[in-house]
Copies of this chain bind each other. A is one copy, B any other.
Amino acid sequence: MSSAPSGSPAPSDLFRQPVIAAPMAGGASNPRLAAAVSEAGGLGFLAAGYKTTDGMYQEIKQIRGLTSRPFGVNLFMPQPRISDPSAVEVYRQQLAGESTWYDTPLGDPESGRDDGYEAKLAILRDDPVPVVSFTFGCPAPEVLASFARAGTYTVVTVTTPDEAQAARWAGADAVCVQGIEAGGHQGTHRDDPAADGTGIGLLTLIALVRDAVDLPVIATGGLMRGSQIAAVLAAGASAAQLGTAFLVCPESGANPLHKQAMTNPLFVRTELTRAFTGRPARGLVNRFLREHGPYAPAAYPEVHHLTTGLRKAAAQAGDPQGMALWAGQGHRMARALPAADLVDTLVAEWQHTAWQGSEPPEAAERNTAWQDQEDPAGDGGPAGTGRTAAVGGREDS
C-alpha cells in the first residue's frame, strides 16, 4: 500500500478510531448523534441533504456546542434533469391511490433540484468545518481547491473505479467507496437505468478503486461488526463508514418505526428502488416499495418531492409499509446501543480480531493432514473456524 503522492492524509489521521457514522439525510443524522460519535473517537457526520442552508448552519453551530472534536458535513450535488416529464406525470397518476389512502396531496415535483448547493458551499467556505463529503457527483476542481485552502478535508462518494478517477482528477482528498450493500441512496454520479443491476460489492470495489487511484479509501456498505471493519482495513481502506449501524442508536433522529423495522423479522429483504425518490436507494422491502418499485421512473429529485408528504403521513399514521425504510444489507445485525457504546463495541471487536491473529504468518503454517480429520490441526485441540486477522495501525512508510 503506497502513500498518496498527493500528500493527502488518510481521513483516519483526523480522528482516533477508524469508525465514521455515515451521513443519513432525512433526519437520522443530527448533531447529537454526530457529536456522540466524534466524542467517542470516531467521526460524526451531519447530513445537509434536504435541509435549508440555515437548517444546515444551525446544526453546525449545535454540534460545535457539543464537541470540540472533528466532524463532517455531507452535501448532495445538484442534479441534471434526466427524466422525461411525461414519465413523472405517469408516476404521479400511479401514486393517486396512495394520496387518497394517506389523505395527503402529492408534492410538487418541481420543488427544486440543487438542494441549495451554492448557498451551502458559501457557508462552509465562510465558516469552515473539518470534513466535507459529497454525494451524487463530483464537485468542480475549484470547489475542492477552495476547501483545501480553507483547511477542510474533502471526500467524494464513489461507486465505480471511473468515479474514483473523476474524484482524483478533481482534487478530492479521499474517496468514500460505497458498495452495493449500502442502505439509502447509492452515491452514483449519474443515475443511468441501463446500469441497473451492475452495482459492485464493497470488497471487490475497494480493490478496483485501489487499482485505479492512489487516494485514501473510506469503505462503506453493509458494515455492522468490528470483524467487517478489520476486513475493510485489511483490504486497504483507511476507515469504515457505517450508516444502518448508527441509525438505531437512541441519539439518531430516525423515526422509531424505522429503527424498529431494522430487526423486525417481518422485513427480511432489502432492495434498491426508485419508488421513493426516483434514484436507486436501498430499503427494506415493504408494501410501497413492492408495489411502485417496478415502474418508478429515473427522476430524482422529482419523485422525492412527489412522495415526501406521503412518507410523512405514513409515519404519522404509524404505518411502516408506506415509509422509506432505508437499510443496508446487514440491517438485522443492528444493535440499539448508545452511539458511544457502539463505537467502543466496534473498536473492541476490531481489536479482538486483531489480537487473535497476532502471530506472524510463518508460525501459522498448517499441516496438511486432511486425511486425519479426527485431529485436523495435529495439535490435539478442537478445530477453530479458521484464520483471524491482526489489524495494526497505519504503516510506518
**Chain A residues close to B by CB (< 8 Å):** 1-4, 7-16, 18, 69-70, 130, 151, 153, 179-181, 195, 197-198, 200-208, 210-211, 214-217, 221-225, 227-228, 230-239, 269-272, 285, 328-330, 332-333, 350-351, 353-361, 363-371, 373, 376-377, 379, 381-397
Complex contact B333–A207 (CB within 8 A)? yes
Residue of B nearest to A219 (CB): B203
In whole angstroms, what is the CA distance A205 to B210 when docked?
A: 22
Complex contact A389–B234 (CB within 8 A)? yes
Query: In the complex this chain forms, how many copies of it are found?
Result: 2
Residue from the list B214, B222, B272, B391 in contact with A234, Cβ < 8 A: B391
Complex contact B238–A228 (CB within 8 A)? no
In whole angstroms, what is the CA distance A230 to B227 when docked?
A: 12
Complex contact A377–B204 (CB within 8 A)? no
In whole angstroms, what is the CA distance A397 to B387 when docked?
A: 11
Complex contact B387–A330 (CB within 8 A)? no
Residue from the list B10, B269, B359 in contact with A386, Cβ < 8 A: B10
In whole angstroms, what is the CA distance A70 to B368 when docked?
A: 9
- Which residues of chain B are near A357, meaning CB under 8 Å? 233-234, 390-393, 395
- Which residues of chain B are near A201, meaning CB under 8 Å? 179-181, 201-203, 221-222, 329
Residue from the list B70, B130, B204, B390 in contact with A228, Cβ < 8 A: B204
Complex contact B236–A227 (CB within 8 A)? yes
Residue of B nearest to A195 (CB): B269
A170 to chain B, nearest CB (A): 18
- Given A180-B201, A395-B388: A370 in contact with B13 (beta carbons within 8 A): yes
- Which residues of chain B are near A371, meaning CB under 8 Å? 130, 151
Complex contact A234–B353 (CB within 8 A)? yes
Residue from the list B271, B351, B354, B384 in contact with A394, Cβ < 8 A: B384
In whole angstroms, what is the CA distance A360 to B272 when docked?
A: 39
